[in-house]
Amino acid sequence: MNETIYLLKAHRSIRKFTDQPVNQETVRELISAGQCAATSSFIQACTVIQVDDQQTRDLLCDYAAGQLYVKEAPVFLVFCADMQRHRLACSMHDAPMLSGFTEQFITATVDCALFAQNVLIGAESLGLGGCYIGAIRNRIAEVDELLGLPELVYPLFGMCLGYPAQNPETKPRLPVDVVLKRGRYDDSGDRASITDYDESVRNYYRTRTGGAKNDSWSEQISEMLVKEARPHMLSYLQAKGYLLK
C-alpha cells in the first residue's frame, strides 16, 4: 500500500481542533488543489465561500443543528454548486443559456463534491483534519440569504478544517464485496456480509463511547430512512433554478 492509499484509508472526521491558525496561503493552495479535481465537460461548477466573520459563523452553527465546531474550527468553508458563472459565460457570447435541467443539477453537484474531496485529502496530507457539515441544508434558505447566493448557486455542504485536537479511530466501512460488483448487480450475499459488518460497527461504537452506544450500521440506516429527508429541498432547488425539467 503506497502513501496515497494509506492516507485515503486513514480518513477520520475531526471535530475538535487546536487553537493553531491555518495560514491563508495554505487555504488558497487547498482550493487550488480542489480545482484540479475531475470536472464534467470542464464546467468547473464549484464556488467556495470561506466564512471568517464570527457572527456569521455563529449563525451558521445555529442553522447546522448547533454543531459547535462550525463556529470553533479555524477554517470554515461552504461549498456551493454554481451555474451562475455559466450564465455569465453565455452572456459574454450573446448565447441565451438554457437552464433548469436535472442533468445540470447532477453535474454541478458532482463537480462540487469532487472538488471538496480534493480539498479535504489535501488538508489531511498537510496534517490538518476536517469534517463535512451537511446540516447546513437543514435551514438552507437561511444559509442562502446569509451568504447572498444568487440564482443557480446553492450551498451543498460546509467543511471545518484545522489542526486536530483528537485522534479518533477510523470508522469501519462496508465490506468491499458488498460495494464492488462484477459484470452485473448481484446482492445475493449482501445480507450475510452486512450482518457480519454490523458487529464490526457495534464494536467500533462500544470502544469509541465506552459502551454508551451499541448501534449497528443497518439499525442506523433503518432508523434514518423511515423519516422524511429534508423535504424542503425540492422547492428550494426549484426556486434557485434547478430541477425544473
Mean pLDDT, all residues of the chain: 97
What's the whole-number mean pLDDT along residues 133-152?
98
pLDDT tens digits, one per residue of 31-64: 999 999 999 999 999 999 999 999 999 999 999 9
Per-residue pLDDT, 68: 97
Take residue 125 and report the three cell numbers written for it. 496530507
The band of 174, judged by pLDDT with boundaries at 50, 70 and 90, is very high
Q: What percent of the chain has pLDDT over 70?
A: 100
Per-residue pLDDT, 220: 96
pLDDT tens digits, one per residue of 90-132: 999 999 999 999 999 999 999 999 999 999 999 999 999 999 9
Choices 3.40.109.10, 1.20.950.20, 3.40.30.10, 3.40.50.720: CATH for 3-168+228-239: 3.40.109.10
pTM equals 0.96
The band of 212, judged by pLDDT with boundaries at 50, 70 and 90, is confident
Per-residue pLDDT, 207: 86
What's the whole-number mean pLDDT along residues 62-80?
98
The answer on pLDDT for 211 being more than 80 is: no
pLDDT tens digits, one per residue of 216-233: 999 999 999 999 999 999
